């Protein structure tokens, strides 16, 4: 679990409760650690939004900064915490928003990259670090597997803000969801070999199939039960939301402990179980539940993801001291070059295979560049490498693999993560972002001038300004507003592609205003509570329908 080293300042002012033996309780230490991390996360989120900097990258940097404070905010991360507690909600939320209709259309390239790509990456990178750094085979393949798991959190956030095509998002997210599971299975096999389990290619292949299919089956069954039986039949936002939370953790636990449940020594992939459960709920549950529940559920998962991401990326910054990387710089550089080259070859190579297999689903060259450079590494790689103990792999080997993993994760987050926006814009995949920014500039100026005009009117009415001056200023403002409105109209005429997104955004704003008006009416008691509730449901329905139109509309 996360354990915060006791800040002496806080202890000295009596902030921390102490037990009879003078030591603060472990529970309180963990509670304070969580509160401090969340507070930092919230602060970083505000700053990142203002500075338009990638949130997850900002969190890593904040983690670095906090780690320089020494024991003040040092954390002790357990890999189990990341894998069992933090990863399931991240995967579940991502699958909820991955429309099955879109994923199904691109299942061939997604599975090729996730299964074949991860397997090939494991072998290729394993061979590279074995041949160049002399890392023993089991540890080399363990590294190859764990570093093949991509983490698209930061990249997907860019996609959303830049308005990139939905298909690109589906390809990147889909690959990541499935390759996490494949990487974990391959990693577990490599660790098993290091622990002395006999290895054979045939046995490994069978293990892989059993673990994967079993995980998918557990998740699919539980997801179907929750989606089709509970979500589709109940109409209670709180119960349904709580059920999905239980499903996300429950499917992971049941798959991982399936052997113990049936009294045998095997397990299934918990990660694949979560993915299957999320896809099932998103497909048969969410689309069959009431709009009010859908909105509550989406807000809940959005909040939970924000909290978990804050924890994960701050922890990455806190646990990777940059100076450690300098100790084994050659190993880090070899791993980094290997990761980039393997990613380049696999993305482009498997895209060509896709084109042969499914000509209609050709992956455009621009997409391939983004998929290659967008292959960031994060929480899964970090969690897996922390499970590599000195007892199994040897002190030196475990340390080298850990440093290489830290180096690759940091490079991908800090360098690839911060240059993605530029790449997407350069490739012309940023949708209408530039035009939208120009449009927003016009709109903001109009709103600003109106505020100025209103203030001038107020000063005139109160006699602070004499009326002739107030009128003159107001007329000047009016001319500015008219000129800006005219510019906005010209801009809009020149860029009709802005119309759909602007229309949808305006409609959403209007519905929010309607909701606010309804709340006012309800507060003043002008209408019966039942009438207000019915009208609120009607508004929620409209909002949910608008979300669906926007989500599925391809610009």
Quote the CA–CA distance of 549 and 57 in Å, as a whole number. Answer: 31
CB of 48 to another protein, least distance (A): 27
CB of 217 to another protein, least distance (A): 22
Cβ 64 vs Cβ 317: under 8 Å: yes
Residue 131 binds to another protein (criterion: CB under 8 A) = no
CB of 537 to another protein, least distance (A): 11
Nearer to another protein by Cβ, of 309 and 540: the residue is 540
Tokens of 517: 């008006």
Nearer to another protein by Cβ, of 165 and 394: the residue is 165
Quote the CA–CA distance of 508 and 542 in Å, as a whole number. Answer: 9
Nearer to another protein by Cβ, of 283 and 405: the residue is 283
CB of 545 to another protein, least distance (A): 4
Nearer to another protein by Cβ, of 62 and 498: the residue is 498
CB of 435 to another protein, least distance (A): 12
**Hey, which residues between 231 and 250 contact another protein (CB under 8 A)?**
232
CB of 275 to another protein, least distance (A): 18
Nearer to another protein by Cβ, of 503 and 531: the residue is 503
- Closest of 420, 395, 414, 406 to residue 335, by C-alpha: 406
Place of tokens 């909600």: 89
Tell how many helices (H) and how many strands (E) occur in the chain.
27, 0
Quote the CA–CA distance of 546 and 555 in Å, as a whole number. Answer: 15
Q: Contact region for another protein (CB under 8 A) — 331-339, 364-372, 391-399, 453-461?
A: 364-372
Residue 428 binds to another protein (criterion: CB under 8 A) = yes
Residue 552 binds to another protein (criterion: CB under 8 A) = yes
In the set 7, 124, 136, 165, which binds another protein (CB under 8 A)?
165
**Hey, which residues between 270 and 309 contact another protein (CB under 8 A)?**
283, 287-288, 291
Nearer to another protein by Cβ, of 288 and 389: the residue is 288
Instruction: Go through the chain and tell me how many residues it has.
Output: 555
How many angstroms separate the first and last alpha carbons of the chain?
Answer: 44
User: Mask: binding to another protein, 469-508, rule CB under 8 A, as x and -?
Assistant: ------------------------x--xxxxx--xx--x-
CB of 26 to another protein, least distance (A): 47
User: Mask: binding to another protein, 366-405, rule CB under 8 A, as x and -?
Assistant: xx--------------------------------------
**Hey, which residues between 71 and 110 contact another protein (CB under 8 A)?**
99-101, 105
Place of tokens 């990613």: 343
Quote the CA–CA distance of 64 and 317 in Å, as a whole number. Answer: 5
SS (H, E, C) 398-419: HHHHHHHHHHHHHHHHHHHHHH
SS (H, E, C) 469-530: HHHHHHHHHHHHHHHHHHHHHHHHHHCCCHHHHHHHHHHHHHHHHHHHHHHHHHHHCCCCHH
CB of 233 to another protein, least distance (A): 12
CB of 520 to another protein, least distance (A): 23
Q: Which residues contact 107 (CB under 8 A, 6 or more apart)?
A: 174
Residue 168 binds to another protein (criterion: CB under 8 A) = yes
**Hey, which residues between 344 and 363 contact another protein (CB under 8 A)?**
360-362
Nearer to another protein by Cβ, of 230 and 312: the residue is 230
Nearer to another protein by Cβ, of 338 and 431: the residue is 431
Quote the CA–CA distance of 92 and 526 in Å, as a whole number. Answer: 42
- Closest of 351, 353, 425 to residue 162, by C-alpha: 425
In the set 198, 330, 462, 554, which binds another protein (CB under 8 A)?
554
CB of 25 to another protein, least distance (A): 49
Q: Which residues contact 301 (CB under 8 A, 6 or more apart)?
A: 89, 92, 93, 96, 244
* Site size for another protein (CB under 8 A): 44
Nearer to another protein by Cβ, of 315 and 354: the residue is 354
Residue 115 binds to another protein (criterion: CB under 8 A) = no
Q: Residue 368, exposed/middle/buried by CB under 10 A (0-12, 13-18, 19+)?
A: middle
Residue 166 binds to another protein (criterion: CB under 8 A) = yes
Residue 438 binds to another protein (criterion: CB under 8 A) = no
Quote the CA–CA distance of 111 and 27 in Å, as a whole number. Answer: 43
Nearer to another protein by Cβ, of 181 and 518: the residue is 518
Q: Contact region for another protein (CB under 8 A) — 129-137, 234-242, 251-259, 538-546?
A: 538-546
CB of 488 to another protein, least distance (A): 13
- Closest of 314, 305, 248, 308 to residue 281, by C-alpha: 248
Place of tokens 């911060």: 418
Q: Which residues contact 408 (CB under 8 A, 6 or more apart)?
A: 147, 332, 335, 336, 339, 377, 381
Give residues in contact with another protein (CB under 8 A). 99-101, 105, 165-168, 232, 283, 287-288, 291, 360-362, 364-367, 428-429, 431, 493, 496-500, 503-504, 507, 541-542, 544-546, 548-550, 552-555
């Amino acid at each position: 679990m996360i354990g915060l080293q006791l800040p002496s300042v806080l202890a000295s002012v009596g902030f921390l409760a102490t037990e009879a033996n003078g030591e603060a309780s472990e529970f309180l230490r963990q509670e304070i650690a969580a509160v401090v991390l969340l507070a930092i996360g919230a602060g970083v989120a505000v700053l990142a939004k203002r500075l338009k900097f990638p949130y997850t990258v900002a969190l890593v940097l904040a983690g670095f900064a906090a780690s320089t404070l020494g024991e003040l905010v040092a954390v002790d991360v357990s890999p189990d915490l990341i894998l069992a507690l933090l990863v399931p909600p991240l995967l579940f939320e991502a699958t909820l928003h991955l429309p099955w209709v879109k994923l199904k259309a691109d299942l061939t390239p997604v599975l090729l990259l996730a299964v074949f790509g991860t397997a090939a990456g494991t072998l290729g990178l394993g061979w590279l670090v074995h041949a160049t750094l002399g890392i023993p085979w089991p540890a080399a393949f363990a590294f190859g597997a764990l570093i093949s798991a991509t983490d698209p959190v930061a990249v997907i956030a860019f996609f959303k803000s830049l308005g990139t095509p939905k298909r690109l998002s589906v390809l990147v997210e889909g690959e990541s969801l499935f390759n996490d599971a494949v990487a974990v299975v391959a990693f577990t096999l490599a660790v098993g070999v290091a622990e002395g389990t006999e290895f054979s290619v045939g046995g490994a292949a069978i293990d892989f199939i059993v673990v994967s299919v079993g995980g998918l089956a557990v998740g699919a069954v539980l997801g179907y039960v929750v989606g089709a039986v509970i979500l589709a039949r109940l109409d209670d936002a709180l119960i349904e939301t709580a059920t999905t939370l239980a499903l996300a953790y429950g499917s992971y636990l049941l798959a991982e402990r399936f052997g113990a449940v049936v009294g045998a020594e095997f397990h299934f992939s918990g990660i694949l179980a979560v993915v299957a459960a999320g896809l099932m709920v998103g497909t048969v549950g969410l689309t069959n539940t009431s709009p009010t529940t859908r909105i509550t559920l989406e807000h809940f998962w959005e909040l939970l993801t924000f909290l978990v991401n804050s924890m994960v990326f701050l922890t990455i910054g806190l646990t990777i001291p940059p100076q450690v990387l300098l100790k084994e710089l050659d190993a880090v550089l070899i791993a980094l070059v290997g990761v980039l080259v393997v990613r380049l070859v696999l993305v482009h190579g498997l895209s060509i295979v896709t084109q042969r297999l499914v000509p209609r689903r050709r992956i455009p060259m621009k997409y391939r560049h983004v998929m290659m450079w967008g292959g960031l590494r994060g929480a899964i790689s970090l969690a897996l490498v922390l499970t590599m103990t000195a007892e199994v792999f040897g002190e030196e080997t475990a340390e080298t693999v850990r440093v290489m993993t830290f180096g690759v994760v940091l490079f991908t987050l800090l360098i690839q993560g911060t240059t993605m926006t530029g790449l997407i814009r350069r490739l012309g995949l940023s949708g209408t972002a530039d035009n939208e920014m120009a449009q927003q500039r016009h709109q903001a100026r109009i709103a600003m001038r109106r505020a100025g005009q209103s203030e001038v009117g107020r000063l005139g009415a109160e006699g602070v300004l004499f009326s002739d001056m107030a009128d003159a200023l107001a007329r000047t403002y009016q001319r500015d507003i008219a000129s800006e409105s005219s510019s906005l109209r010209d801009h809009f005429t020149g860029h009709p592609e802005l119309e759909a997104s602007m229309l949808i955004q305006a409609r959403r704003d209007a519905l929010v205003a309607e909701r606010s008006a309804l709340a006012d009416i309800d507060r003043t008691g002008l209408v019966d509570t039942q009438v207000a509730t019915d009208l609120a449901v009607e508004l929620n329905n409209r909002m949910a329908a608008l979300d669906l139109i926007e989500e599925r509309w391809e610009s």
